[in-house]
A and B are shown apart, each in its own frame.
Chain A
């Protein structure tokens, strides 16, 4: 019964992206229906149980296609995303939609800490995506990374070229990591991330937020950094970056996501798509991030925000 409602059969899933027919027709399908084989992962690619029966609802990737449409990315430039989905497998790539300086961009994350899937090593991605997307830096798979990622904006999509990769090394004994930026000729440490259970480790979260070289905590209340609407979540990550601190909330509901998007002034079309399809997104959990630092006038500045789901 369910299969009859789907525009593609489960057997086709791994070989033929659901957006392919629309792509061939020159259109972009935004509402991608769930399938019987869907899996559900957070932005750390850790599985979660959907909040309700997912049948007849939408896949998280619908948010990606919607954001591309809102950003005015030509449909033809969706091809790298389809190629990634084909190479890495459905549901196995985390995507982030970022808003900085009023512009949307995207980041794709590939996890395989235990080298269980040869498809998503940095070297294999570079090899398999060639022709659709050129990954310029070469990253040796011998490096003990647990994740690699790269950013795409409209220009990079048009060029079909990625000049920098991010490589993440794990912390020992706790959930967290260090990110390094790999370019063609150099590599440098960028960010550190620590993940916390917001209920069991609230003291650690507050400790980090209240100690910052970028946020003047004498002029910024904790409630501006640790948002009460999002505290009810599965995980909180506190990050140290080169020019800002950041906090990520994982496992939030679609209602919380909508609050976040409105709070940080995402384009109305991004918000409207999710609001209009809220009932079909209730089964999913999402993840969001906020960079912050104190501005010249002493007020808190949020230079970048992001939201995540899986492709």
Chain B
């Protein structure tokens, strides 16, 4: 195993193109990284403006600047507007996954809880390769400049590198690790494409290259991770695979051997786009014979009641329970036209979540008619109820409609 990186409370994706727009403004790789607080809990940004912990401008007395020069107490409205970005469903529904990308509720306050970090995409170890694969001349130089500026700051953020794996950079992967290490990266994630079949290479070519890169990570003390490849092909490095929980409909991943594989809970198999291009790889995949029992199935009305009960006093406000392959989505009517949907997915170690109960990562989505501190209070209360009541007896079984399979016979 590679040395795990120290816990980072919040990761933000670095966009060197945006960062390079102005040389006069300090890099704003997430407001949290640039905030300074006094012991009274007041925050200022580098421009000296009063902010709250999330970096929202205030007048220092808790009123919010709506960025039109008006101070307002309508924090809920302000926050909802701030969150209505790429993650919205297009009808003014604020969506928060609690991760670093959308500045979710959980992510806003963790500059107090620990270090912050940025994620940089590295396509190559040279300007030629990186620029060619990004399709942007000078991208490599700009990335390097932004990282250098970040490292020269008062509180340099932790750095992680994400390496999109493609046919053109397979040979360069170990050298990319060297580069990431020289930039101070704590972690390298090798991300295989999951949608674009033209960017994919056969696993018998990709896997050796990724294993070599992971070995280099180990040598340099960089945490190595893998995304989007079958765990069974990673051998002793299977633990490096970030759990692939495919909640898309139709599924974006599939594996012929899911039913017999011990790794099923954290490995969804091959991207369907890959299967269409290269086949099921039935003769290459090496499923680990399953000995442990399958998690309990759900789906009965009784199970629905059990899911509702997780919410404690808020159970009476549940309007719907949808048990999907990998998620329980619980609609909650908060009254006066306000509602949200709680989303429970199998617990991960460090996936985006507002809170983690014994079995689940807890998020919310589709918040309607509510936002800001009011919303935060409500979801925090409900999440706490779930954490308190989740005794581990409810599981999300990604399989559906099937009786438990017999234990495989080991020959």
Contact A51:B250 (CB < 8 A) given known A228-B272, A234-B400, A234-B402 = no
Chain A residues with Cβ below 8 Å from B329 are 52
Q: From B398, which residue of chain A is reached at the shortest CB distance?
A: A232
Interface string of A148-184 (1 = CB under 8 A from B): 0000000000000000000000000000000000000
Q: From B303, which residue of chain A is reached at the shortest CB distance?
A: A49
Chain B residues with Cβ below 8 Å from A264 are none
Interface string of B168-209 (1 = CB under 8 A from A): 000000000000000000000000000000000000000000
CB atoms of A256 and B250 under 8 A apart: yes
CB atoms of A255 and B402 under 8 A apart: no
> Of B49-57, B67-75, B220-228, B317-325, which binds chain A?
B317-325
Interface residue ranges of B63-92 to A (CB < 8 Å): none
CB atoms of A234 and B401 under 8 A apart: yes
CB atoms of A229 and B250 under 8 A apart: yes
Interface string of B252-285 (1 = CB under 8 A from A): 0010111100000000001010011001101000
B251 on interface, CB distance cutoff 8 Å = yes
B38 on interface, CB distance cutoff 8 Å = no
Chain B residues with Cβ below 8 Å from A53 are 304, 319-322
A187 on interface, CB distance cutoff 8 Å = no
Contact A200:B250 (CB < 8 A) given known A206-B256, A223-B276 = no
Contact of A255 (CB < 8 Å), options: B249, B270, B323, B399: B249
Bound complex: CA A254 to CA B250 (Å): 8
Interface residue ranges of A39-71 to B (CB < 8 Å): 48-49, 51-53
Contact A228:B323 (CB < 8 A) given known A199-B402, A234-B402 = no
Question: For A48, A251, A253, A285, which residue has the most chain B Cβ atoms within 10 angstroms?
Answer: A253
CB distance from A223 to the nearest CB of B (A): 5
CB distance from B259 to the nearest CB of A (A): 3
CB distance from B89 to the nearest CB of A (A): 11
Chain B, interface residues (CB within 8 Å), range: 35 or more
Contact A231:B323 (CB < 8 A) given known A200-B405, A202-B259 = no
CB atoms of B280 and A199 under 8 A apart: no
CB distance from B359 to the nearest CB of A (A): 20
B24 on interface, CB distance cutoff 8 Å = no
A230 on interface, CB distance cutoff 8 Å = yes
Bound complex: CA A221 to CA B402 (Å): 27
CB distance from A261 to the nearest CB of B (A): 11
Contact of B279 (CB < 8 Å), options: A202, A222, A282, A283: A222
Question: For A53, A233, A256, which residue has the most chain B Cβ atoms within 10 angstroms?
Answer: A53
CB atoms of B320 and A52 under 8 A apart: yes
CB atoms of A229 and B272 under 8 A apart: yes
CB atoms of B401 and A52 under 8 A apart: no
A197 on interface, CB distance cutoff 8 Å = yes
Contact A229:B254 (CB < 8 A) given known A51-B324, A199-B259, A255-B249 = yes
CB distance from A53 to the nearest CB of B (A): 5
B337 on interface, CB distance cutoff 8 Å = no
Contact of A222 (CB < 8 Å), options: B251, B257, B258, B280: B280
A-B residue pairs, 5 tightest by C-beta: A255-B249, A199-B259, A52-B322, A234-B401, A228-B254
